[in-house]
Structure 1
């Protein structure tokens, strides 16, 4: 049978294209050989189970150890140890019975299941005493244990650990789950359960996490498909995949599978290019596969909202990297820290976070808002579009904001739902989170045209000047000469013209000579805002090219600008 890209369950090298899990995590081997107890934690579908099953196969194929894999997923509903511990033992017994280990029939034989304080330790000790090699135990879904069951289970592991080698017990144990061991401690503390003077968590030597694929590993994975089928992933396609996914293993496999099996219907004669990657990514985002859906279900959790909301609004210093909520979101794989800035873990997550939080609004707007802003030449009337949104916001903002759990981010989400309603007819929106910069950048693409939009919440006198500078930089990045700045003022005490207005300004940037190089510079006031900071632009350009024209736009609540049609109505 031909191999395929796997998106459901652990991978194995016989059926699936895969990057060697052990090769990617060689440090695990030394911990096992040293007899350590440790944690392997990572987000769902990043390769945890694939790694531990690979390790079990690796050690069982040699003659030094016996290795056992056991999942405790089914135990999560049992929080009290008098029920949870016997259920955990049942899972261990099931795993042993269906393994190839010797003396399987003797595991946990004759034990009194009522003695929950020693049940797990006794079962493992009795079994290890019968084996002629050390036992390695890999316990998956350790997150399944809750409250008193978790404490009792870990206490017995610790008791067995500290009494080795006099009393037989597994040589090495790996606890595998989505969370680091510190998060188990936090969960117990929140539940007001005492850990006593001897913490059961002290048994753990090290906590390891599984990293995303590197660009080279993505290329390696796809090369396996090329070798088997002759179908080539263009270099640009591989780069595009990494740009979308940041190497998240499930997404890397899902995009490849979507292209090969769904879009091309296993026609291996066609090479895979960047355009197909973009199409596959869009399909995955719109379809909301189980991986995406389960991850985004977390957005409803208050601990997640506290972290994601300021990332959306770009609020500065609002997130403490050491907080349990922040670490929780990092462990879930929803966000990452890059250059000391917290942001969505990859571009696909960044997109589906906004789409998920704004989808209900977008759905209802489809019936309320008629798309009249696509012009005859295929361009968007961004002035008219944003002016219409200004009116919509003026009339409906309080009603719509109340519907949002993410109330601080509601302006951003509602505007993007409004824009998405329009561009769905022939375009898309690219979003850039600017963590800590108090803004979000949008590139509305429609047909062959790009429309840069900068979103900000009003935080004082520097909001508009800062926004114009940031918008100018974003316009440069996109190679566009026109952009729009939208500022939301949350001050409900302001009325009428003080709260809703639109301004349009045009800057002609004159060249000046500096140190022998030609540069563009401008320093002009903001018309009706003489006290505002002026925009200053000094950028080198290629000789012989005209300097670009900066179009500063200032708005409160929602406002628009263009070099072609200045707004004539102030709301």
Structure 2
């Protein structure tokens, strides 16, 4: 019986596997047309699995050689050539179950041409050379020499029988290749994307067909939304559900998923999340700006900080802006990097405050009444918790999150930050007694941004099939708090304008 793969390249015999036919067709077309090209993807995206599948597709017709430069750092020319030959022989043995492909190590870098030509004439198969972790070849002189050889071969590729060279990296190789290797036209570049929603469902459906254990439709949606299609994380969540939380159950329900999500957030040291947090710590200030000032950082792959975070899967390019695309990564980073507002809890709820007065007779939350209590708290504190902060929108969102959680969790509900809603994310989502309340948070926005925020909220409300939502706007330019309601197409939005420019805590009780 197969399983969800949580480490290393996927073995189709033992693990569930997602086909990527369009991506595969693109790669095969390049190979068949004698193209030399690059492939990039952040780590843990299934890149090596995809490339192994290419090997399986072409090995009868061509001679694929799939090696990695992962251990090629700090090598002189002799070590480089010896290691190269050893790796080529290992690759050949793994693919064809035969012994040595190359008997003699090339005399120098340029002699690689003669080695390749001899392979072609001996095996009578055109060669497809695939080099993973290409950027690990850190000796600039060796790299230039090697790429010069490839360029020379490229101009007479039919003679040498080197049909295609594929350079694989966690990131873009454009700077290296534009300077040194004309065969690698940067337009011929492939990226291995995250799974689509359909591919995530396909992965889960494979388990259902083979075992009879069923994921509730809502659970499938939750896996898709929380992992954002990230292959390693998608498999990890699914594996935890079927192997631990609901091991003996016929149906995997939302309750099991909530336990899995909690463990990934607070209990497990999951390698995917731990890696993201560790990498984010190295650029903490930039990550906090991306987290707490959404849309404020332009995506620029040539910015070394952005390049580093992107290559390690922390951030992504969302319509030209830096974002954390994977919701579970966002939640983990939000929880660990959130602005510290220590000591506020005692002001948010006193001995006299209980959740009962904010729950209506039908069990629904009286959110407007609770926001009035929130305003009372801000007046009492004189907005002191907002003073001197660099990441204002994030400070506001976290402060509101902290306040609402204090009351909602007392009623056995939950407040979720940055929750996926269709194609976007709402800042806060309250779930209480099977009811959902959407909240968008903005700070010191312009009139145009205000109108855009209202339209965005209405769109999220429609996607969740609700009839109302809340927009909380923090402003330093107003003299008093204000509550506004607007209705459009049967949808009501509650708008609260929150004053933040207090001089000192007031005596209002």
Deviation at 1:260, TM superposition (A): 0.5
Q: TM (normalized to structure 1)?
A: 0.69
Deviation at 1:208, TM superposition (A): 1.2
Q: 1:244 to 1:395 in 2, by over 3 A?
A: closer
Corresponding position of 1:309: 289
Q: 1:180 to 1:322 in 2, by over 3 A?
A: closer
- Contact kept in structure 2, 1:455 and 1:486, CA below 8 Å: yes
CA distance in 1: counterparts of 2:34 and 2:460, whole angstroms: 57
Match for 1:554 among 493, 498, 504?
A: 498
- Contact kept in structure 2, 1:128 and 1:169, CA below 8 Å: yes
- Contact kept in structure 2, 1:96 and 1:107, CA below 8 Å: no
SS at match of 2:337: helix
CA distance in 1: counterparts of 2:81 and 2:383, whole angstroms: 58
> Aligned pairs, how many?
484
Structure 1 position 146 matched with structure 2 position 141: no
Most deviating of 10-19 and 374-383: 374-383
Q: 1:349 to 1:464 in 2, by over 3 A?
A: same
CA distance in 1: counterparts of 2:87 and 2:501, whole angstroms: 59
CA RMSD of aligned residues (A): 4.6
Q: 1:157 to 1:312 in 2, by over 3 A?
A: farther
Structure 1 position 346 matched with structure 2 position 326: yes
Deviation at 1:412, TM superposition (A): 5.0
- Contact kept in structure 2, 1:65 and 1:134, CA below 8 Å: yes
- Contact kept in structure 2, 1:181 and 1:207, CA below 8 Å: no
Deviation at 1:101, TM superposition (A): 5.1
Q: Note the 1:8-407 alignment, pairs <5 A.
A: 8-21=7-20, 25-60=24-59, 62=60, 64-75=61-72, 77-78=73-74, 82=77, 85-86=80-81, 89=84, 92-93=87-88, 95-96=90-91, 98-99=93-94, 104-105=99-100, 107=102, 109-112=104-107, 115=108, 117-118=109-110, 120-121=112-113, 123-146=115-138, 148=140, 149-166=142-159, 168=160, 170-182=162-174, 184=176, 195=179, 199-200=180-181, 202-204=183-185, 206-265=188-247, 267=248, 269-286=249-266, 287=268, 289-302=270-283, 309-310=289-290, 312-315=292-295, 318-319=297-298, 333-336=313-316, 343-358=323-338, 361=340, 365=342, 372=349, 375-377=354-356, 381-384=370-373, 388=377, 391=381, 394=384, 397-398=387-388, 401=389
Deviation at 1:330, TM superposition (A): 5.8
SS at match of 1:17: coil
CA distance in 1: counterparts of 2:89 and 2:375, whole angstroms: 62
Corresponding position of 1:415: 399
Match for 1:539 among 458, 469, 488?
A: 488
Q: Deviations over 1:351-374 (max 9, x none)?
A: 23322322x838xx4898687477
List alignment gaps of at least 5 residues for structure 2. 360-366
List alignment gaps of at least 5 residues for structure 1. 187-194, 490-497, 508-536, 542-546, 560-566
Deviation at 1:255, TM superposition (A): 2.2
CA distance in 2: counterparts of 1:481 and 1:31, whole angstroms: 51
SS at match of 1:36: coil
Q: TM (normalized to structure 2)?
A: 0.76
- Contact kept in structure 2, 1:21 and 1:47, CA below 8 Å: no
